[in-house]
Amino acid sequence: MASWLPTLKTDTPEEGYDLAVKLARVAVKLTQPDADVRDRLRPEYAQDSNALIAASQVVATHFATVAAANGYWQNKP
């Protein structure tokens, strides 16, 4: 079976950010595997500024990890 995350390496910071968002989304799916439950809860947290800020913090943490794995893209022109 192929890994859904074969590498943290990306060509650009934008691709790195997209990967960070994917990491956050996969974590939610693994934490709550029932799609119906996730769909039922979404309207609640979509209107909760604290929940949205927390989600942004999770993405930021993942982005820091991806950026570090990519040497902060310092080797790119």
Residue 74: pLDDT band (50, 70, 90) is low
CA angle 28, 53, 73 (to 5 degrees): 80
Q: In the prediction, which pLDDT does 2 show?
A: 77
Q: Which two tokens stand for residue 53?
A: 């800020």
Q: Which two tokens stand for residue 49?
A: 């500024």
**Stronger pLDDT, 76 or 3, i.e. the higher one:** 3
- What one-character-per-residue DSSP string does 55-68 give? HHHHHHHHHHHHHH
Residue 76: pLDDT band (50, 70, 90) is low
- Cβ of 66: how many Cβ atoms within 10 Å? 21
- Cβ of 31: how many Cβ atoms within 10 Å? 8
**Stronger pLDDT, 12 or 72, i.e. the higher one:** 12
Per residue in 19-73, pLDDT tens?
A: 999 999 999 999 999 999 999 999 999 999 999 999 999 999 999 999 999 997 7
